[in-house]
């Protein structure tokens, strides 16, 4: 081990490209592990905490990440216990007919509240620079890695971590052939004030700790409660065939963000809810305002490596996993934990990057593979839901898992 590199490892200069959930977790992890200088480069100038979508973290992952320090205490959550799969059946009333129920040991989060908790936990020593558009990154061998900015300037760091999501410029440098692959369907998302459900009857209020999955030919929709800045909200994620009007580009990650939904797309969503959903759940989703509704094509990305040449990938930059697996946030926080553990235990950057690649590279590939199986079964090749009983549903579910213990990610040290 070279003395100069050992010295750098104990006080190195790190750039984290991206300042959302993954970026904040990475910055906190490496700062606490002993990095001398940590700089977060976030292109957005606005308030990231205004993003209102929901997400879930498995109870076992939540406990693991709380113990490691990657998931701060005190962030508001909503406990979930079971998942109810329902189909439209007018003979069973407006809520539909439940065809199966399974345990669902998760806690739900509001994206903005989770990000705020992670941002508040970033040590004061970390420099968080907003409005910084990074256009590229390049490893410079044993001397570090360069970050290029939109204005043409270049900064050198001992390590550059890409936590910059779907369109990662660090991934483009490290794995230029790994690009988002369109899955063949889209995801409609939205959330609304849970208090609005009182005007619809008691169907949802009877199951506040349940996730409801509405099943139909060619798609499915997951509905559950999340905490919100001003009280509980209902979050939903609907997977279906793409709109037929050509309004979405399907050759590159794109979306109509909240507030950007066109009247034509709004009509297509309304028609889908009316045609496929039990009446209660169709009316419930229709409570979502335009400012809280959006649609995006589903993609996934599998990378051959997560670290090399002083460049390292975390979160969605390392692997884009379809949301069916309910693992995105947990995986990002596990990446941060693994990097911190490696920093404390390794003597050189070469050793650090090699160990991270061995552990987190495999984890990302496994999650991508599982989410593809879930997507095929729940959207692309849906079964005849209405004719299935509980035993058949349980067998169908096991087939999707393909030997995996379940969704929500795996333990870091099983």
- The CA distance from 335 to 68, in Å, is 12
Which residues pair with residue 136 across a beta bridge? 148
Report, as an integer, the average pLDDT of 93-99: 95
Residue 361 DSSP label: I
Q: 365-384 in b/e burial notation, b at 16+ Cβ within 10 A?
A: bbbbbbbbbbbebbbeebee
List, for residues 121-138, the tens digit of each pLDDT value: 999 999 999 999 999 999
List, for residues 187-246, the tens digit of each pLDDT value: 999 999 999 998 898 776 678 999 999 999 999 999 999 999 999 999 999 999 988 776
Q: Are 234 and 197 in contact (CB under 8 A)?
A: yes
- To the nearest 10°, report the CA torsion of 156, 159, 160, 162: 180
Locate 159 and state its tokens: 């390590």
pLDDT at res. 2? 44
pLDDT at res. 57? 98
Q: Are 55 and 76 in contact (CB under 8 A)?
A: no
Lowest mean pLDDT among 36-40, 146-150, 291-295: 291-295
List, for residues 73-83, the tens digit of each pLDDT value: 999 999 999 99
Give the global pTM: 0.94
- The CA distance from 205 to 198, in Å, is 8
pLDDT at res. 228? 94
Edge-to-edge order in the sheet of strand 210-216: 54-58, 97-110, 78-87, 210-216, 219-226, 233-240, 181-193, 293-300
Which residues pair with residue 225 across a beta bridge? 234
Lowest mean pLDDT among 163-177, 242-256, 342-356: 242-256
- 279 confidence band (pLDDT: 50, 70, 90): very high
Strand segments, DSSP code E, in 196-318 are: 210-216, 219-226, 233-240, 293-300, 307-308, 311-313
Which residues pair with residue 162 across a beta bridge? 17, 313
List, for residues 2-23, the tens digit of each pLDDT value: 445 555 566 799 999 999 999 9
Q: Is the dihedral of CA 291, 274, 80, 316 positive or negative?
A: negative
Q: 41-76 in b/e burial notation, b at 16+ Cβ within 10 A?
A: bbbeeeebbebbbbbbbbbbbbebbeebbbbbeebb
List, for residues 241-266, the tens digit of each pLDDT value: 988 776 677 666 666 666 778 888 89
- The CA distance from 54 to 265, in Å, is 22
List, for residues 312-331, the tens digit of each pLDDT value: 999 999 999 999 999 999 99
Q: Are 227 and 77 in contact (CB under 8 A)?
A: yes
Nearest to 363 by CA among 402, 396, 331: 331
pLDDT at 117 over 70: yes
Report, as an integer, the average pLDDT of 61-67: 97
SS3 397: helix
Q: What percent of the chain has pLDDT over 70?
A: 92
pLDDT at 62 over 70: yes
Q: Are 321 and 187 in contact (CB under 8 A)?
A: no
Burial (CB count within 10 angstroms: exposed 0-12, middle 13-18, buried 19+), residue 161: buried
pLDDT at res. 269? 94
* Half-sphere exposure at residue 164, Cβ-oriented, CA atoms within 13 angstroms: 27
Q: Are 223 and 239 in contact (CB under 8 A)?
A: no
pLDDT at res. 204? 64
Please count the residues of the chain.
414
- The CA distance from 66 to 388, in Å, is 39
Edge-to-edge order in the sheet of strand 134-139: 134-139, 145-149, 154-157
pLDDT at 360 over 60: yes
- The CA distance from 367 to 106, in Å, is 17
Which residues pair with residue 101 across a beta bridge? 84
pLDDT at res. 201? 80
- The CA distance from 42 to 126, in Å, is 13
């Amino acid at each position: 081990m070279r003395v100069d590199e050992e010295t750098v490892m104990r006080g190195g200069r790190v750039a984290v490209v991206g300042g959302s959930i993954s970026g904040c977790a990475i910055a906190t992890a490496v700062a606490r592990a002993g990095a001398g200088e940590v700089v977060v480069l976030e292109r957005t100038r606005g308030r990231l905490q205004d993003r209102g979508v929901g997400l879930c973290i498995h109870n076992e992952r939540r406990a693991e990440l709380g113990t490691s320090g990657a998931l701060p205490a005190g962030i508001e959550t909503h406990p979930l216990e079971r998942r109810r799969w329902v189909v439209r059946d007018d003979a069973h009333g407006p809520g539909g007919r439940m065809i199966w129920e399974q345990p669902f040991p998760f806690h739900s989060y509001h994206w903005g509240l989770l990000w705020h908790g992670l941002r508040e936990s970033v040590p004061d020593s970390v420099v968080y620079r907003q409005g910084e558009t990074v256009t590229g990154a390049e490893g410079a061998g044993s001397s570090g890695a360069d970050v290029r900015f939109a204005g043409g300037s270049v900064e050198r760091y001992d390590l550059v971590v890409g936590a910059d999501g779907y369109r990662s410029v660090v991934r483009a440098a490290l794995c230029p052939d790994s690009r988002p692959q369109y899955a063949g369907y889209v995801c409609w998302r939205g959330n609304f004030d849970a208090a609005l459900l009182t005007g619809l009857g008691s169907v949802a209020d009877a199951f506040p700790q349940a996730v409801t999955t509405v099943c139909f030919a060619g798609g499915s929709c997951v509905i559950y409660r999340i905490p919100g800045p001003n009280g509980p909200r209902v979050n939903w994620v609907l997977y279906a065939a793409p709109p037929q009007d050509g309004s979405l580009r399907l050759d590159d990650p794109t979306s109509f963000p909240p507030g950007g939904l066109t009247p034509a797309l709004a009509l297509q969503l309304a028609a889908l809810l009316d045609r496929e959903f039990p009446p209660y759940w169709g009316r419930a989703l229709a409570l979502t305002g335009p400012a809280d509704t959006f649609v995006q094509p589903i993609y996934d990305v599998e990378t051959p490596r997560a670290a090399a040449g002083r460049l390292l990938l975390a979160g969605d930059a390392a692997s884009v996993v379809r949301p069916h697996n309910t693992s995105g946030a947990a995986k990002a926080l596990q990446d941060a934990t693994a990097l911190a553990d490696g920093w404390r235990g390794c003597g050189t950057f070469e050793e650090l990057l090699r160990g991270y690649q061995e552990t987190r590279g495999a984890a990302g590939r496994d999650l991508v593979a599982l989410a593809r199986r879930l997507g095929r079964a729940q959207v692309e090749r849906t079964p005849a839901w209405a004719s299935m009983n509980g035993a058949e549903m349980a067998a169908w579910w096991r087939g999707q898992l393909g030997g995996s213990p379940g969704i929500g990610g795996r333990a870091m040290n099983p």
